[in-house]
Amino acid sequence: MSLAISDLFKTYYGLEPGRIQSLMAYTGLPVAFKLLYGITSDTFPLFGSRRKSYLIILSAIEFILICTLSTLGPGTEITAIVILGAMAFCNAFLDVILNSLIIIV
């Protein structure tokens, strides 16, 4: 996925490699807070479930974000960063939930 993001910034926006890497660092920032996602999902259950509801909601949000980015186009550079950052947040949260489900089973 990082290759596609790099190509997007290079081809669509015409950015230099240094600027591309700094923007990709911003999109990868939500991964740094994975510990908080596990604590959140264990502490605050949604709809009576600690993990299943988070899994369904975040998967739906990530699907909507992917569809938005692919159908509407990235728009401005800031819009692309916000959408990619939100996708990274959903992906990191889902990774924590899936890993906790694997450990329990």
Kind plus residue range of the DSSP H or E element containing 64: helix 52-72
Quick check: helix, strand or coil at residue 47?
Answer: coil
Q: How far apart are CA 45 and CA 29, in angstroms?
A: 25
User: Is the confidence at residue 74, as pLDDT, over 70?
Assistant: no
For the segment 19-62, what is each residue's pLDDT rounded down to a tens digit?
A: 888 888 888 888 889 889 988 888 888 888 888 899 999 999 99
**Can you tell me the mean pLDDT for 1-12?**
83
Kind plus residue range of the DSSP H or E element containing 78: helix 77-104
User: Is the confidence at residue 104, as pLDDT, over 70?
Assistant: no
Enumerate residues 6+ apart whose C-beta is below 8 A from 18: none
User: pTM higher than 0.85 for the full model?
Assistant: no
What is the dihedral sign for C-alpha 90, 92, 98, 101?
negative
